Amino acid sequence: MSSRDGDPGLVSVREVADQLGVHPETIRRLIHGGRLDAVRVGRVLRVHREAVDHYLARQRVKPTRFQA
């Protein structure tokens, strides 16, 4: 989700939700719970693309070894 030239790197809650395949309310809960950084522009929440990348990096699941 890298920033493009001239792109401020801010996306809407709905855009993040669509990208991650979740409901926008889920994104709002992550923001209000402090798990996803966002900024308020007027009355609207915006998320930095970089914040989404960091959130996803923290959610990575490490493979486990299964014993037979």
> Dihedrals φ, ψ of 19, to 5°?
-65, -40
The residue that leads in pLDDT, 47 or 66, is 47
pTM over 0.85: no
Mean pLDDT value of segment 47-64: 92
pLDDT (0 to 100) of residue 6: 53
Cα atoms in the 13 Å half-sphere on the side-chain side of 63: 3
pLDDT (0 to 100) of residue 14: 98
Q: How many helices (H) and strands (E) does the chain have?
A: 3, 3
Q: What is the pLDDT of residues 5-53, one digit of tens each?
A: 556 799 999 999 999 999 999 999 999 999 999 999 999 999 999 999 9
pLDDT (0 to 100) of residue 43: 95
Tell me if the domain spanning 10-58 has CATH number 1.10.1200: no
